[in-house]
């Protein structure tokens, strides 16, 4: 049985009664042996392995179109690959169970390892959405034949091959062509990464070229005879904006003359409209909607949200599989709802809501239960089990968000009573009031004849419904409703694309105009009024936050506010829910984008890359629509509606056309751009300037390949040499085709200490230098188990992720539980999930026999497990 992670393997072993085999680095009983991968153990080989001519970064050697793809061991986990391969070759076994994560990438991880080992064991598939003991037991009673998932594997292989073909060919072609024009930058291209960057660059260009337009509004503050006050805004039909301050002053002056309650032409209510608006509960979370909500609510990055959700799923067992693209439940899961409600009554903060659902059993509608909209996994919901261990602050907040969204989905709609009133000021009848939405594009350049009309809106929540479960109070609910339907409604809602001429950002003063109830009014009622001109200015569209960028990626950049339409566009989005966070992190790591508080801002390097694509007439490489259409085709392959061969033929044809276009375009003359920060370990990373050097494509890379192949000849249990395959590389879960240059200082920089970062002005003490030498990591780099993209490096007090500047806080301290760890122990911890037995100290200082077990979500990276 092959699991994707050590922690999952331990969960499976716990349910099946499997214990560690003596002296072995897997788990074994008389029936099962359970081992694990550490991410991708196998990946696609680099270009030079197919053809020595592809080693040089030259335009005349492109396109690179392998007839068959080859696999090679991933550098970070060669030892674990030997273990897995040895077990797959062991003649004691009569079959193998694929227990990798139940999704496209998990299927690929298993298929590549199985293929690399040349195994012929019959395959069965464990497909579960929860890691609770009950869910695992149910999964083992319904194992499915491995060939049932061949179409999913075809989609996974096609994704990987397409990433290799588009990313490596385009990266080399654009870089080589730009260097013909005197540039010295490396332009990293990714099938999904680059279109995502293009969205950010297009928004930045809108902001930089935006020219603000001043305009004026007139505010009326009215008072009833008994002293109740309420605000309004002046409108003439659908128009509320005036082109000059003199126009606003003219309206204010003439209305002040009739502002008295006794004035015959003074303010008078001329029309009223009351209605009830029902707001249904939001749909259940998929990963993207969870990431968007957590970013808006807590400021979590998409990667941080995924990291926490994985901990809630794997470590605490309190939520279901998080890497899902569905917001619905299947009918099978719906049958288990009463039991789930009952289990949630044991959690005090949710007990009253869960009891209400037990006392008044809901009848889930199609917004909750729909088998046709559940493919690999259903929506993210709680499992009903108590957390294993104590949730930290961020885990508790995200868990609370998921539970309240789940329970609220079964509660009634919230209801808002909305009252709208037109107040007329001045002599005459004038045109009848217009209830339609305001036209924000039009500015009046002449004052219309009197009388003037002012529109007032008031909102009050009459039925809390699901909002009580969500913890939304009445004032917040009214204010949120005003934000979407107020007298000065803004079109730049989350995920939508702002128009080119700009829109006003929502101003809290405008929200207040509609966020409270109006006093009782009747037609013909006289009022007193005061009038004020208000200077405004159109504003540029806002920069993307991670929440709004995720929404744009989900709809391939299209402006879609309606949830139903957005759901229909899921198949044509950029990437998948499981990969979008890593795409954003890749752009940040390669310095194409930086964070400015909550905003994502493209750098000059990012803007320059998109400019190079335009200059070389291959802007399609940055097309969200094209990449989205490819993603839709991958989804169709997984469903058996399209052939893998047809898709890959089109990708190869597209790559050829792109190379021809770049070859025929003039070399762009651009300034030097900063190189990306570090490599992501993908094959084919380029050498340094001049196409020589000792990067992954230079001598060291060749020596490493030779060493791998020498290892393969040693005998059973060692990885075999690269083999041919009809499938692509097992890249990372991000846009792994995109290529970055090797860092000249990889593995030598220091990780920041949480408490006392190393001084930049004073040299470290001699003893500290010796300590770091004794704890330096040699050999293959270790991939960070928390973020999955960074690598571990040696700091002054521990080993940490080299992406700490981007927010990854994984660290393992040299001194842990009273023992100084060795690099060998760290390597075992990261690659195998645990260390060998050793003497540690418990919290009281007493020596105990124990081992360290990997725990990426914890503050120390590992936990002590007594033996």
pLDDT tens for each residue of 229-276: 999 999 998 999 999 999 999 999 999 999 999 999 999 999 999 999
What is the C-alpha separation between 739 and 737, in angstroms, rounded? 6
Is residue 677 packed enough to be buried (19+ CB in 10 Å), middle (13-18) or exposed (0-12)? Answer: middle
CA dihedral sign of residues 595, 599, 600, 604: negative
Side-chain-side CA neighbours of residue 11 (13 Å) = 25
Q: Which range among 34-38, 378-382, 423-427 shows the weakest confidence by mean pLDDT?
A: 34-38
Rounded distance between C-alpha atoms, residue 273 and residue 420, angstroms: 5
pLDDT tens for residues 41-77? 999 999 999 999 999 999 999 999 999 999 999 888 8
- Is-contact 195 580, C-beta < 8 A? no
Cα(first)–Cα(last) distance of the chain, in Å?
24
Pairing of strands 27-28, 144-145: unpaired
Instruction: Mention every residue, 6+ apart, whose C-beta is less than 8 A from residue 625.
Output: 556, 557, 572
- pLDDT category at 18 given cuts 50, 70, 90 is confident
Strands 19-20, 123-125: pairing is unpaired
How many angstroms separate the CA atoms of 690 and 687, rounded?
8
Query: Which range is most confident: 423-427, 684-688, 839-843, 853-857?
Result: 423-427
Listed range (50-59, 314-323, 753-762, 841-850) with the worst mean pLDDT: 753-762
CB-based contacts of 562: which residues, under 8 Å, 6+ apart?
none
Instruction: Report how far residue 234's alpha carbon sits from residue 827's, in angstroms, rounded to the nearest whole number.
Output: 70
Mean pLDDT of 463-478: 82
Residue 623, pLDDT > 80, answer yes
pLDDT band at 786 (very low <50, low <70, confident <90, very high): confident
Indicate the range of 337-341, 560-564, 698-702, 832-836 predicted with least confidence: 698-702
DSSP-derived 3-state class of residue 74: coil
SS3 letters for 160-213? HHHHHHHHHHHHHHHHHHHHHCCCCCCCCCCCCHHHHHHHHHHHHHHHHHCCCC
**Mean pLDDT of the region 531-536:** 96
**Do the bridges between strand 2-3 and strand 33-36 make them parallel or antiparallel, or are there none, so unpaired?**
parallel
DSSP, residue by residue, 355-414: HHHHHS-----TTTB-GGG-SS---B-B-SPPPSS---HHHHHHHHHHHHHHHHTTSPPE
Cα atoms in the 13 Å half-sphere on the side-chain side of 134: 8
Query: Cα(601)–Cα(205) distance, rounded to whole angstroms?
Result: 11
Question: Which pLDDT score, from 0 to 100, does residue 702 have?
Answer: 39
- Which residue ranges make up each domain of the chain? 2-157+709-725, 214-280+415-537, 287-408, 766-866
Architecture of domain 287-408: Orthogonal Bundle (1.10)
Residues in the chain: 867
In whole angstroms, what is the distance from residue 665 CA to residue 658 CA? 11
Question: Is residue 568 over pLDDT 60?
Answer: no
- Say which of 321, 350, 592, 654 is annotated catalytic: 321
**Residue among 98, 149, 105 nearest 122 (CA):** 98
Mean pLDDT of all residues belonging to the chain: 81
Quote the distance between the C-alpha of residue 688 and its chain's center: 32
350 assigned to active site = no
Architecture label for domain 214-280+415-537: Distorted Sandwich (2.70)
Q: Does the pLDDT of residue 732 top 50, yes or no?
A: no
* Paired residues of 725 in beta bridges: 69
**Are 19 and 31 in contact, with CB atoms under 8 Å apart?**
no
Q: What CA–CA distances, in Å, run from 376 to 306, 321, 329?
A: 18, 10, 11
- Within 10 angstroms of residue 78's Cβ, the number of other Cβ atoms is 18
Which of residues 370 and 724 earns the better pLDDT score? Answer: 370
Burial class (CB in 10 A: 0-12, 13-18, 19+), 93: middle
Give kind and range of the element (H or E) at residue 450.
none
pLDDT at 498 over 50: no
For residue 22, pLDDT beyond 80: no
Predicted confidence (pLDDT) at residue 763 exceeds the cutoff of 50: no
- The whole-number average pLDDT for the span 605-609 is 91
Exposure string (b/e) for 122-148, b if CB count within 10 Å is 16 or more? ebbbbbbbbbbeebbeebbeebeebee
Question: How sure is the predictor about 492, in pLDDT bands with cuts at 50, 70 and 90?
Answer: very low
State pLDDT tens for residues 179-229: 887 777 788 899 999 999 999 999 999 999 999 999 999 999 999 999 999
d(CA 131, CA 226): 63
CATH level 2 (architecture), domain 2-157+709-725? 3-Layer(aba) Sandwich (3.40)
């Amino acid at each position: 049985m092959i699991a994707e992670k050590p922690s999952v393997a331990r969960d499976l072993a716990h349910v099946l009664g499997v214990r560690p085999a003596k002296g072995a680095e897997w788990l074994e009983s008389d029936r099962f042996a359970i081992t694990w991968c550490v991410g991708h153990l196998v990946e696609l080989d680099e270009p030079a392995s197919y053809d020595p001519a592809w080693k040089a970064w030259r335009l005349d050697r492109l396109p690179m179109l392998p007839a068959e793809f080859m696999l090679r061991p991933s550098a970070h986990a060669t030892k674990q690959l030997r273990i897995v391969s040895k077990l797959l070759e062991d003649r004691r076994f009569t079959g193998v169970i694929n227990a990798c994560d139940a999704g496209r990438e998990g299927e690929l991880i298993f298929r590549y390892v199985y293929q690399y080992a040349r195994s012929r064991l019959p395959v069965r598939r464990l497909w579960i959405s929860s890691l609770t003991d009950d869910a695992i037991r149910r999964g083992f009673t319904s194992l499915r034949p491995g060939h049932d998932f061949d179409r999913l594997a075809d989609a996974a292989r096609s994704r990987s091959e397409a990433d290799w073909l588009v990313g490596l060919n385009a990266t080399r072609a654009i870089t080589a062509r730009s260097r013909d024009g005197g540039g010295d930058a490396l332009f990293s291209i990714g099938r999904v990464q680059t279109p995502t960057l293009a969205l950010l660059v297009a928004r930045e260009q809108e902001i930089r070229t935006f020219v603000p337009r001043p305009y004026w509004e007139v505010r009326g503050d009215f008072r009833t005879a008994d002293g109740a006050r309420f605000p309004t805004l002046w409108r003439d039909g659908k128009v509320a904006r005036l082109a000059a301050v003199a126009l606003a002053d003219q309206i204010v002056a003439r209305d002040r003359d009739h502002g008295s309650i006794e004035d015959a032409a003074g303010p008078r209510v001329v029309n009223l409209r009351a209605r009830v608006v029902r707001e249904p509960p939001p749909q259940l979370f998929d990963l993207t909607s969870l990431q968007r909500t957590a970013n808006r609510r807590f400021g979590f990055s998409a990667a941080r949200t995924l990291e926490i959700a994985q901990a809630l799923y794997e470590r605490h067992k309190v939520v279901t599989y998080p890497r899902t693209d569905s917001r619905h439940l299947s009918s099978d899961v719906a049958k288990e709802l009463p039991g789930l409600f009952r289990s949630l009554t044991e959690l005090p903060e949710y007990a009253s809501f869960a009891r209400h659902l037990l006392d008044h059993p809901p009848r889930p509608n199609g917004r909750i239960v729909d088998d046709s909209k559940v493919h690999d996994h259903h929506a993210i919901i709680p499992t009903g089990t108590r957390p294993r261990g104590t949730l930290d602050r961020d885990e508790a907040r995200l868990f609370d968000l998921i539970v309240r969204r789940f329970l609220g989905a079964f509660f009634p709609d919230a209801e808002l009573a909305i009252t709208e009133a037109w107040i007329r000021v001045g002599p005459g009848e004038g045109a009848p009031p217009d209830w339609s939405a305001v036209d924000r594009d039009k500015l009046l350049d002449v004052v219309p004849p009197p009388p003037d009309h002012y529109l007032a809106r008031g909102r009050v929540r009459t039925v809390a419904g699901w909002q009580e479960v969500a913890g939304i109070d009445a004032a917040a609910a009214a204010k949120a409703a005003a934000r979407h339907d107020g007298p000065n409604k803004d079109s730049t809602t989350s995920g939508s694309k702002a128009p080119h001429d700009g829109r006003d950002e929502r101003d809290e003063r405008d929200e207040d105009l509609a966020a409270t109830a109006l006093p009782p009014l009747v037609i013909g009622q006289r009022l007193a009024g005061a009038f004020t001109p208000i200077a405004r200015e159109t504003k540029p569209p806002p920069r993307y936050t991670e929440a709004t960028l995720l929404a744009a990626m989900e709809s391939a950049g299209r402006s879609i506010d309606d949830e139903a339409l957005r759901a229909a566009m899921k198949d044509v989005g950029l990437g998948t829910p499981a990969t979008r966070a890593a795409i954003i992190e890749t752009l940040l790591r390669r310095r194409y984008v930086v964070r400015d508080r909550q905003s994502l801002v493209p750098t000059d390097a990012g803007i320059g890359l998109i400019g190079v694509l335009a200059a070389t007439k291959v802007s399609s490489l940055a097309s969200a629509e094209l990449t989205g259409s490819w993603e839709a085709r991958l989804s169709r392959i997984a469903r058996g509606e399209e052939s893998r061969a047809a898709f890959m033929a089109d990708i190869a044809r597209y790559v050829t056309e792109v190379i021809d276009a770049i070859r025929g375009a003039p070399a762009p003359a651009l300034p030097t751009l900063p190189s990306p920060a570090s490599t992501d370990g993908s094959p084919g990373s380029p050498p340094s300037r001049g196409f020589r050097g000792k990067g992954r494509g230079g001598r060291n890379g060749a020596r490493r390949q030779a060493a791998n192949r020498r290892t393969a000849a040693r005998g059973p249990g060692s990885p075999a040499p690269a083999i041919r395959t009809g499938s692509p590389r097992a890249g990372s879960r991000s846009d792994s085709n995109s290529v970055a240059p090797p860092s000249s200082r990889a593995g030598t920089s220091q990780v920041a200490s949480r408490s006392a970062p190393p001084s930049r002005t004073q040299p470290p003490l001699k003893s500290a230098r010796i300590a770091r030498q004794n704890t330096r990591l040699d050999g293959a780099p270790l991939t960070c188990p928390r973020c999955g993209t960074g690598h571990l490096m040696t700091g002054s007090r521990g080993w940490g992720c080299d992406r700490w500047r981007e927010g990854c806080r994984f660290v393992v301290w040299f001194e842990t539980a009273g023992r100084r760890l060795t690099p060998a122990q760290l390597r075992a911890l990261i690659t195998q999930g645990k260390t060998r037995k050793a003497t540690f100290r418990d919290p009281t200082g007493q020596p105990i026999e124990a081992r360290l077990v990997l725990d990426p979500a914890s503050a120390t990276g590992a936990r002590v497990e007594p033996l």
